[in-house]
Structure 1
Amino acid sequence: MTLAIPAPEVPAQTAETSAGADAVPETIARDAREFGAYARTGGWTFALKVARSVRPGGQGADESDKVSAKRFAELAGCSPERVMRFYKAWDVAADDGLVPQFEALQPGVDVELPEADVWLSYYSSRSSATSVRGTAITAAAEAEGIRPTKALEVAENPTALRAAILADPGTAQAARSALLDRLEEDEELRGVLARDVAAREELKKAVASETKVSDRIEFVRQVAEGGQVKTPAGQVIEAPAELRQEAERHLSLLDELDEGEEAGEWAAEAYGTVKTLIQETVEADPELRVAERRTKFYSSITKATKVFEELTFDDAGEFYEDDMVKRLEELQGALSACIEALRKAAG
């Protein structure tokens, strides 16, 4: 079976062998015709040869003059997998209405082919493209507006990807963004990454530092946007207009920082300023000042009560020391004085 690339007719003088300035050997003219056909139709030329010669799935040898993909590959001197990649590319294009269905094709009969630049949208020269993993990579590449072959090549060369990430900040940034996007839906990867961070002391410190910065920025944002603030003792009060305006000013400065710019110093300044203004707000209002002291006092009593409620003395004999009793007696004296002061205050 001879696999010749179909080509349009060319002027007769192209193949002239007689003497003359334009005369060229027929072998060169044939190569030129075939090159012209390929330049216009690209891989579609070869896909057509497969599509019109290979039996569609489900057809038996007695139902068609066409051959199996395996037999076609033997005749072509290539692998059946390569033949099937061309076959599948044609199949998808046929479903899109770009080329005729297999049943409409006859061996040796040419049909009009799409432009060459459309070919790569349907064909991948990589066998990984047909796997579940390859299909996912292809879909993601198309969503990003790049050729699937580029993404598949990267996926098949993780060492090259690692080298690019280590050497190039831009590639590292792209990898970071991709990982963050993937973390949203990949629970297993989130767990692995969390364990990796926990196992590295320098990363744990970095995460703690960034968490502190984020918490401070969120505190300022709540004041600016929520309109309520929490005092040092834990009271929730309405933020005065001046306090909200100052919080909004600092928040706007933080929001204007470029991506990747260090926000720690700005966040610390904003947080410190807002906390100071909250304290000044409390001190400037006599009722708030008293309520703040009352809230703080109750908080201290609650904490102390909880501590004593958790104490057990079933095995006191094993850890008893005279100093323990002495310090508790001193505490008892302080509690008695505190109770007496409160009773006097009550009249």
Structure 2
Amino acid sequence: MAAVPAPVPPLDGVSEVAAASDLVARDARTFGVYARTGGWAFALLVARNVRPGGQGVDEAPAGSVKVSAKEFAALADCSPERVMRYYRAWDRAADDGMVPQFEALEPGQDVELPDADVWLGYYSSRNSAGSERGTAIAEAAEAEGIRPTKALEVAENPTALRAAILADPSTAQAARRALLDRVREDPELQAELARDVVRTDDLKKAVATESRSADRIGYVRQIAESGQIKTPAGQTVDAPADVRHEAERHLSLIDELAEDEDSGEWASDAYDTMKNMVAETVQADPELRVSERRTKFYSSLQKATKAFEELTFDDAQDFYEDDMLARLEDLQQAIASCLTALRGARGKGRPQGSGPAE
């Protein structure tokens, strides 16, 4: 803490000219006070002399009369708004017990002042605190348990914020988390970020990699939590106990490594392991293996049927080529072979018309 000092005698080693000059001594003292206290030195000048709106003689301490911010600003040749910014900074500090209340101060009175490094925690260099934007920032700061003036200071200096993010990984991480929280409630910002991602090759590749990793984790999580597996043909069946146990083990490891840089590698390993175990499960069960082949056949047949139905020949004369006819004839022969094979198998497998397995 430092006080605005009273006149001091010349110090040893100071030149006779400097010691004899009241102007030099006064400026040196002013410089020393500001070096130790920063803006507090000027805030004290406002706090002990200003009362917004002025002050009647009856309300003033004996022998002193405070003036309005407008009158003080006129004497100081600056704006009333600037004076009030110092006034509000002192008021906030007084509420925290850092400095005396205004009522305890008189013109000309000196008091102990806080150190310079806490000044910016109370002073806002721009009059943004009263705006709609400033109010929103102040409310968010209070919700986070920090002083609103700190958040306002950052908001009023985006270049400094950018520099901190670029230079400091922990600041960048805090900014990332805050941005994600904001994105969830701001559709416009979501769209802007999405455009930035797709226009930046490195980000687009990173998103694709993370999306693939998330899909693989989702595959393992579905087995662990639902107790069911999806076969390569798309059937959903109950997972054997060992398969589900292995999925739970891998999922536990993945969740523990959620913030680790190598979590994607673990996710890939878990996915490959579970895919292999699912394939082994299908091969180890004769009934399931047959059902799997039947399901694959119906799936392929459905795709082939849909593709053929999409062919149109109303204007075939406009695009006809001999190769088209040759390919359709080959297809006709392949279909005939399939029909022969299925007719030969009739009565040996499922009853006719029973359809695919559910």
Same fold? TM cut 0.5: yes
Q: Is the 8 A contact 1:221 1:247 kept in 2?
A: yes
- Residue of structure 1 in register with 2:305 after alignment: 305
Q: For 1:179 and 1:121, locate their aligned partners in 2 and report how far apart those are by CA, in whole Å.
A: 24
Alpha carbons of structure 1 residues 94 and 164: separation in structure 2 relative to 1, 3 Å: closer
Q: For 1:145 and 1:125, locate their aligned partners in 2 and report how far apart those are by CA, in whole Å.
A: 21
Q: Root-mean-square deviation (CA), in Å?
A: 4.3
SS in structure 2 opposite 1:249? helix
Aligned identity (percent) is 66
Structure 1's unaligned 5+ residue stretches are 1-6, 8-13, 16-27, 57-64, 96-101, 110-114
Q: Is the 8 A contact 1:254 1:263 kept in 2?
A: yes
Structure with the larger RCO, 1 or 2 (CA within 8 Å, 6+ apart): 2
- Residue of structure 2 in register with 1:54 after alignment: 52
**What are the equivalent positions in structure 2 for 1:102-113 lying under 5 Å apart?**
none
Deviation at residue 217 of structure 1 after TM alignment: 0.6
Q: For 1:331 and 1:169, locate their aligned partners in 2 and report how far apart those are by CA, in whole Å.
A: 62
Q: Normalising by structure 2, report the TM-score.
A: 0.70
Q: For 2:227 and 2:197, locate their aligned partners in 1 and report how far apart those are by CA, in whole Å.
A: 36
Q: Normalising by structure 1, report the TM-score.
A: 0.72
SS in structure 2 opposite 1:229? strand
- Residue of structure 2 in register with 1:189 after alignment: 189
Deviation at residue 47 of structure 1 after TM alignment: 7.1
- Residue of structure 2 in register with 1:221 after alignment: 221
Structure 2's unaligned 5+ residue stretches are 8-25, 55-64, 96-101, 108-112, 348-358
Deviation at residue 346 of structure 1 after TM alignment: 2.0
- Residue of structure 2 in register with 1:78 after alignment: 78
Q: For 1:258 and 1:242, locate their aligned partners in 2 and report how far apart those are by CA, in whole Å.
A: 24
Q: For 1:150 and 1:246, locate their aligned partners in 2 and report how far apart those are by CA, in whole Å.
A: 50
Q: For 1:255 and 1:336, locate their aligned partners in 2 and report how far apart those are by CA, in whole Å.
A: 53
- Residue of structure 2 in register with 1:314 after alignment: 314
Deviation at residue 338 of structure 1 after TM alignment: 1.2
Deviation at residue 194 of structure 1 after TM alignment: 0.4
Aligned length: 309
SS in structure 1 opposite 2:237? strand
Deviation at residue 325 of structure 1 after TM alignment: 1.0
Deviation at residue 87 of structure 1 after TM alignment: 6.3
Q: Is the 8 A contact 2:183 2:189 kept in 1?
A: yes
Alpha carbons of structure 1 residues 55 and 119: separation in structure 2 relative to 1, 3 Å: farther
Q: For 2:259 and 2:49, locate their aligned partners in 1 and report how far apart those are by CA, in whole Å.
A: 52
Q: For 1:198 and 1:70, locate their aligned partners in 2 and report how far apart those are by CA, in whole Å.
A: 54
Deviation at residue 253 of structure 1 after TM alignment: 1.6
Q: For 1:199 and 1:219, locate their aligned partners in 2 and report how far apart those are by CA, in whole Å.
A: 29
Q: For 2:153 and 2:93, locate their aligned partners in 1 and report how far apart those are by CA, in whole Å.
A: 23
CA deviations over 1:24-76 (Å, ceiling 9, x no partner): xxxx9xx9xxx9xxx9xx7996676577x3339xxxxxxxx997653443245
Q: Is the 8 A contact 2:121 2:150 kept in 1?
A: no
Alpha carbons of structure 1 residues 203 and 108: separation in structure 2 relative to 1, 3 Å: closer
**What are the equivalent positions in structure 2 for 1:193-342 lying under 5 Å apart?**
193-257=193-257, 259-342=259-342
Q: Is the 8 A contact 2:142 2:148 kept in 1?
A: yes
- Residue of structure 1 in register with 2:16 after alignment: none
